[in-house]
Every structure is written in C-alpha cells, then in structure tokens.
Structure 1
Amino acid sequence: MSKLMSSIDQRTQLVGENRLELLLFKLGSRHTFALNVFKVREVITVPKMNKMPGSHYHISGVTDYRGRSIPIIDLRTAIHLSANNPDYVPENVIITEYNRSVQGFLIGQIMNIVNTSWSDIQPPPSSVGKNNYLTAITRYDGDGKSELVEIIDVEKVLSEIVEYDTSISEEVLDEEIKTHLEGRKILIVDDSSTARWQIKQTLSQLGLDIIEEKNGLLALKKLQAWADEGIKVSEHLLMMFTDAEMPEMDGYRLTAEVRDDPRMTSLYIALNTSLSGSFNEAMVEKVGCDRFISKFQPDLLVEVVQDRMRALLSTSK
C-alpha cells in the first residue's frame, strides 16, 4: 500500500497537462469505480471507528486521522448500490479532501492506478438519469480485457450528507452593486450538476442570469458560436466560473483556448475547484485565469462577482 500511495504523490503533477491519474477500486459489485488521485490524500486499512449518535446513515463512524476526527462514509450505500451482497467486506478507506474538508470513504479492494488523458474521459450516458452518482466514465484495458470504469461524483455524494448553505452574509452583500448585476450573464462550467446547482443557487440571489455547461469543450463551442455571430463575449458575459477537472476538456485548457482567441481573450475567468493549494495558484497564473476560488464558499463567490462589477463600473467612468 505504501508503494501505491508514494506513486500517487509523484503523479499529481499531471494535472494541468490534460492528463490525470485514477485510483480504481471495487465496492462489492461487478463494476469498477474510480476517484481522481489528485483528491486522494491517503489509502488506509479500515480503522477503528466510533459511532456518532444522530449522524447521517451513510456515515459508518468517525475516526482519528492525524490528530483530527473525520467522518468515514460508506461509499457503497452512499451511491445506492444494492445491499444484497453478504460476501462484501470493506477493506480500505480512501482519505480525500473535497471542498476544504477531509473525509474517508469506505471501499472494498484497491485495483490499480491508471494514467489516462482527459480526452478519454466521457460524460456518463444520459440514460442513467439525473439522480446518478457518476461524473464521468472511461475504459481501462488491463489483464487482457477492456472494462468500463465509473468515476464517482463525490460532490453529489457529499451534498446528500453535508448540508451546504447557499445563503449570503449581510456584511458581504453590496446593495448598490447588486442593482448593476440584475440581468447580467455568468457562465458556469462544471461536470458536477451538484456543483453547478450550488453556484447557481448562490448567484441567482444577485439577480444574475446563469448559463450552464457541463464540460470545457461544450463551453468553448458556446463561446466560439457567440463570437462567430459577432457577439462580444467579454461584454455578453460578466464572467465565467470554470471547474479545473472535467471530461473532454479541463478548465486549464478551456482558459488557454479562450486566451488564444482574440475575440474573447479579455473574458474574466475564475477557476472554481475542489482542488486546493499552491498548485492551483501556479496553474491560474500559467494559463491566465483571473482568480482562483476553492469550493464551496458562497460569500467568496459573491465577493468575486461584485469585485468584477466594480472594476467594470470604474473603467466606464
């Protein structure tokens, strides 16, 4: 296990190069599931857990992890897999960091780590319905066979366990600026429907018109179509919020493509991602994003939008 995790530490540098590493594992079914390695802190064997009265039914307990108590979530039940498997025994816990919180996911067998390209990551089929727990799918060719790998939408899982407050603090809201935001358009680009919903619920309170796309490629095509019609994109949109990691085209590549197109190069872009740390700060500068925001911070989202509006008002005087 230590050899496996040391390779995880070495490979996170692939983010931003349109490549990623996936940690493949089982949940007691024939399916193979995956999480992005960059969001994995560590994989440990199932620790001693303490039950917390009144906790969510998907939380198996809490455990001490490096001096802090963290919840351990039963990932199998959280994505509503059938409980009818008496042979399934959880073997490991994946410690992850999402949206500035640390939690563990109870899983079965660790399969492998695979290096793949974002171009090989596809959105889940529409037939799975809106209540699915997948953010993307891909294929893995190993052991002489090709199998489907289902990448779990962890933000959706967490949103059903942890209640996210989308309210805006009174001290943050600038009522004068809000009058100028009414009817302004913002583009949100994120492969997680939950993440898009969180941003939309927050910013709609400002009277903004929210446009959504679920990956960078679709967003780029929309922007290019507007530009082809003669629309000045940076005037049509107040700004764009984009996730970093998405199938078909990630947020880094999307930003680079926008900056390379003289018809939209001045579009204000904020990278809004559950990935945090100095790496993203460096990537923001490298590809030309204007801001970096770690998810999910309603007040900070509002501050960024208001700051953008103030800047536009000051330049128009």
Structure 2
Amino acid sequence: MSNLLSSVDQRTKLVGENRLEILMFKLGSRHTFALNVFKVREVLTLPQMNKMPGAHHHISGVINYRGKSIPIIDLRDAIKLSGARDNYEADNVIITEYNRSVQGFLIGQIMNIVNTSWSDIQPPPTSAGKNNYLTAITRIPSTEGEELVEIIDVEKVLAEIIHYDTSVSQALLDDEITTQLAGKKVLVVDDSSTARWQVRETLNRVGVETIEEKNGFDALQRLKKWADEGKNIEDEILMMFTDAEMPEMDGYRLTAEVREDERMSELFIALNTSLSGSFNEAMVKKVGCNRLISKFQPDLLVTVLQDRMREVLESQSA
C-alpha cells in the first residue's frame, strides 16, 4: 500500500498548477470519499491498536507510528455516516498531517489515486445543508461512466474532537495598533466553514470585520468587481488571508492572479494553510505571498494583522 504514495516529489509539483491528487476510499456505503494526497503521510493496514480510556468517542484507540503514539479516528462515525455498512471492515488507516498534528483515520477499502484539477472540484451543493462534512465534490471517470467523489472536510472533523481556542494573548496586543484596527475589513478565503469561523472569531476579538469567500475563484471575482468599479482595493480591505487548497481555484493561483493585475497587485496576502514544510514556503515565494501561517494559531493571525497595520501607518506618515 505504501506504493500508492511513493512519488512524493512528483506530487508536490502539482501544487501551484491548480492541480491535486486525491486518494479515494470507501466507508462501508455506496459513496466514494477522498482526501488530498498532499495531506497524507502514509496508508497502512490497521496495526495493533490500544484503547484509550476517556478519549473522545470518535477515537477508536492509539497506535505506535514511527516511535510516537497517535490517535486513530473512526472516520465513518466522525462524519455521522448512517445506513448499511455493506460488509464493512475498517481495516486500513490513512495517516495524515493537518494543522501541525498527526493522526490516523480508520477507513475501509482503499480505491486508488486520481490526478485532477481544482477547476473540476466543486463546493458541495447547498441542498447538503450546513451540517455536512464535505468540503467539495468532484466526478471521476469510471467503468460505469462517472463516479461522484465526496472530499471530506477534515478540519471540521478535527474541530469536533480537538478544542481550538480562538482567544488571543493579551500581552501580544499593541493598544495603539488595535485602536487603528477597529472597523478594518479583511478578506478571508477558505473552503472550510470551520476554518472561516476560526479566523472570523479571532479577528473579531480585535475589532476587525471579515468578508468571506469559499474559494479562490469567488474571491478573485470580488476583487475584480471592486477594481472594475474604480475602487482602491486597499481602501476596501486591509489584507487577505487565504487557504492553499480550495475548489475551482487554489490559494497559490489566486495569489498569482492578484499579482498579475496591476489594480490589486500590491494587496497584502497571507497564506493560512494546514499544509506545512519547506515546499510550501517555496511556493509562497514563487507566487508572491507576503506571509505564511500554519493553521490554527490565533496569536500568529493577530501578529500578522498588527504588522500589516503598522506598515500601513508607516507608509501614511512617510
């Protein structure tokens, strides 16, 4: 099974080209689910698992993974999947890294890996409601024509198991700067409703309002509309926080598009992503992001915000 993920270097080249690879699997129903390969460290046959008394009810136990104990989350239960289990055997584990933490997801049958484009990835239909655990859907060619694949909102799953504190350290706050921040607006771009909520709650604590979009394409259209109306983008928003991976247009492509349009090319952009590593830092430099933030760090969000406000004030007084 490790052969599925053997060519990591090749896969990293997809990021920044508005492309991705998804790992497809089953959870004991007719549905096919997927995760972005770039978040996946390894796929294992379920090793020996130890129960953890007092753990969250979605955590089936812990395993020893490369010398460390990591939790194993029953993904079927976590996304509240009901209905027949079709002789379901949860005997595989996807080891993932999200938001600087490593965890495993207990799943059933592994299908395959598919190379696709973010432009072919769509948000879930509004009829799915606000409580669904999907961040996107796509259609993949199959022997029967097309197969609907549902991409899971892992950040929402984790947020229901791990408490994410949105409070900000008081010692961090610069009263002079926070006074200037009151009433400022920031564009927040993320396909995960949970991630948008986390950023919104954090920024609201320092008096900053958020304008939110679910993907890079919609964010770019909003920015272009302001520019077409003759508005100065930097008068509309102080800066933009954007996720890296989103349906239709990812954060890298969004940044590149902004930089290529002289009407908005100076917009301050921070990439707020659950991806990590030197590759991501290289991509930030390549497309021209101003800052890179690993989710979810309220103090770091506010630090970037205050630094940006200082830059604006200094340029005004120069």
Shorter-chain TM-score bucket reads over 0.9
Aligned length: 317
Specify the alignment match of 1:26 in structure 2.
Answer: 26
1:194 Cα shift? 0.4
Paired amino acid for 2:133: Y
Partner of residue 176, structure 1 = 176
Deviation at residue 10 of structure 1 after TM alignment:
3.4
In 1: Cα distance, 2:39 partner to 2:171 partner? 33
Matched, 1:256 2:253: no
Following superposition, the deviation at residue 172 of structure 1 comes to: 1.2
Report the counterpart of residue 155 of structure 2 in structure 1. 155
Instruction: Give the letter for the 1:47 counterpart.
Output: P
The answer to whether the aligner puts 1:271 opposite 2:271 as a matched pair is yes
| Alpha-carbon distance between aligned partners in 2 of 1:287 and 1:19, rounded to the nearest angstrom | 15
Whether the 8 Å CA contact 1:187–1:240 is kept in 2: the answer is yes
Instruction: Letter of the 1:223 partner, please give it.
Output: L
Matched position secondary structure for 2:138: strand
1:240 & 1:314 partners in 2: Cα distance? 19
Aligned match of 2:207: 207
SS of residue paired to 2:57 = coil
Mapping for residues 111-260 of structure 1, pairs under 5 Å: 111-260=111-260
Name the SS of the counterpart of 2:88 in structure 1: coil
Whole-Å separation in 1 of the counterparts to 2:143 and 2:84:
28
User: Offset at 1:189?
Assistant: 0.2
- Give ranges in structure 1 of 5+ residues lacking alignment: none
Aligned residue type for 2:88: Y
Alignment RMSD:
1.1
Inter-CA distance 70–115: structure 2 relative to 1 (3 Å threshold): same
Contact 2:60 2:74 in 1 (8 A): yes
Aligned mates of 1:112, 1:86 — CA distance in 2: 19
After TM superposition, where is structure 1 displaced by more than 3 Å over at least 4 residues in a row?
A: 7-10
8 A contact 1:8–1:37 mirrored in 2? no
Q: Cα distance, 1:201 vs. partner?
A: 0.5
- Alignment of 1:15 with 2:15, yes or no, is yes
| CA drift at 1:5 | 2.1
Alpha-carbon distance between aligned partners in 1 of 2:85 and 2:282, rounded to the nearest angstrom: 46
Q: Give CA-to-partner distance per residue, 1:249-290, whole Å, 9 cap, x none.
A: 111111111111111111100011101111111111111110
Identical aligned residues as a percent: 73
The aligned residue for residue 4 of structure 2 is 4
Unaligned runs of at least 5 residues, structure 2? none
Query: Conserved in 2, the CA contact under 8 Å of 1:270 and 1:289?
Result: yes
Further displaced range: 70-79 or 46-55: 46-55
- Separation in 1, partners of 2:263, 2:7: 42
Q: Which amino acid aligns with 1:300?
A: L
Contact 1:77–1:83 (Cα < 8 Å) also in 2: no
Distance 1:111 1:12 in 2: 21
Residue 235 of structure 1 and its aligned partner are, at CA, apart by 2.3
1:56 is matched with which residue? 56
8 A Cα contact 1:58 1:73, kept in partner: yes
User: What is the rounded CA distance, in whole Å, between the counterparts of 2:102 and 2:54 in structure 1?
Assistant: 20
Q: For the residues of structure 2 that align with 1:44 and 1:95, how far apart are their CA atoms?
A: 8
Asked whether the 8 Å contact 2:2–2:44 carries over to 1, the reply is: no
* C-alpha contact (below 8 Å) 2:191/2:246 kept by paired residues: yes
Post-superposition shift, 1:143? 2.6
**Per-residue CA distance 1:192-234 (angstroms, 9 max, x = gap):** 0000000000010010011000000100110111111111002
SS at match of 1:206: coil
Cα offset, 1:314, TM superposition: 1.2
TM-score (norm 2): 0.97
In 2, Cα distance between the equivalents of 1:147 and 1:83?
20
Q: CA deviation at 1:144?
A: 4.1
- How far apart in 2 are the matches of 1:289 and 1:8? 24
TM-score (norm 1): 0.98
Equivalent-residue separation in structure 1 for 2:256 and 2:9 (angstroms): 26
Task: Please say if residues 12 and 37 of structure 1, whose CA atoms lie closer than 8 Å, have aligned partners that are also in contact.
Answer: no
The aligned residue for residue 79 of structure 2 is: 79
**Equivalence for 2:305:** 305
Asked whether the equivalents of residues 73 and 105 of structure 2 are also in contact (C-alpha less than 8 Å), the reply is: yes
SS in 1 for 2:172: coil
Counterparts of 1:8 and 1:118, CA distance in 2: 19
Alpha-carbon distance between aligned partners in 2 of 1:247 and 1:109, rounded to the nearest angstrom:
25
Counterpart of 1:145 in structure 2: which amino acid?
G
